[in-house]
Amino acid sequence: MRIGIVPHTGKPVALELSRKLADYLDQREVGWEMILSPREAELADLDLVVVLGGDGTLLNAARLASDSQVPVFGVNVGHLGFLTEVETDGLMPAMERLLARDYTIEKRMLIGASVNRQGREVSRHVALNDFVITRGTFARIIELSIFADGQHVTDYVADGVIISTPTGSTAYSLAAGGPIIEPLLDSICITPICAHSLAARSVVTRPEVEVQVRLNRAGEPVMLTIDGQDGFSLLTGDRVTIQKAEKPALFVRLGDRGFFQVLHSRMKMPQMGGGIREAEASE
């Protein structure tokens, strides 16, 4: 097994932990490579990538590793760590299981986007969480039309729209009023941002559906952002086509906790019905 170590270079804790991990792997005669600025080529020859950081670091590594189908394992050195598998104090016990291959691989759907301008493709991207089309710095709304497999779904007069995966349903989409979608249930979620209509709602489609967003009017620059990390400027008349990517992102899971356990702990969600069950048990 050859392991890639990807630390968040801006966090001293992550860098220190990466050095300890390298020493640990040396003692066990396991090959490793320290990767400070991940690229697809750097990850292609690895069997596993250990990411020491928050969700942002993990998102970037998972997208890049997906092209070569290399699984990633996340260690939370950030604030929320919704996608990570263990906290910092759980790294070394987890490594024992990883080296013994005592884990499972979880596939997370990715989505791809292409930008068409005047009949020509001008940009292409892949996202694990979401694509967001939003207005610029001034408080001016934009007008968007949404299509699914060529059928007109709705028009939004809004600050923007979020097209998310199930993984991304608990990120920006959730903050904008979108639904929580179990991450292994492949689908595409369309959520308006501050729509100027009481009837505006999120729409969830099958993963095979091709979603197209047409930018009808923008009085200022509009931005397409990819997982909140990269951006591409859009112009009035541009069409953004979004569909399920060919390859998924692969995450290493130890099976110690489920999605809803993470949801409760990270999002501070109340466990609905728990009080009723506890009361019944005490009777």
Distance between CA atoms of residues 151 and 165, nearest Å: 20
pTM over 0.85: yes
Worst-scoring range by mean pLDDT, 6-20, 143-157, 256-270? 256-270
**Does residue 280 surpass a pLDDT of 60?**
no
Structurally, at CATH architecture level, domain 111-244 sits in: Sandwich (2.60)
First to last CA, the chain: 53
Give exposure, 42-71, as e/b (b: 16+ Cβ within 10 Å): bbeebebbbbbbbbbbbbbbbbbbbbbebb
- The confidence band for 278, taking pLDDT boundaries of 50, 70 and 90, is very low
Point out the catalytic residue in the list 45, 55, 67, 230.
55
Please list the residue range(s) of the chain that carry CATH number 2.60.200.30: 111-244
The third-level CATH classification (topology) of the domain covering 2-109+247-274 is Rossmann fold (3.40.50)
Spatial distance between the Cα atoms of 122 and 136, rounded to a whole number of angstroms:
20
Q: Quote the tokens at residue 202.
A: 């999120």
Dump pLDDT digits (tens) for 176-202.
999 999 999 999 999 999 998 877 899
The span from the CA of 82 to the CA of 216, in Å, is 35
Annotation says 55 is catalytic:
yes
Q: Where in the chain is the domain with CATH 3.40.50.10330?
A: 2-109+247-274
Q: Per-residue confidence at 263, pLDDT binned at 50, 70, 90? A: confident
Please state, rounded to an integer, the average pLDDT across all residues of the chain.
Answer: 90
Q: Is the pLDDT of residue 271 over 80?
A: no
Among the listed ranges 73-82, 139-148, 161-170, 172-181, which one has the minimum average pLDDT value? 73-82
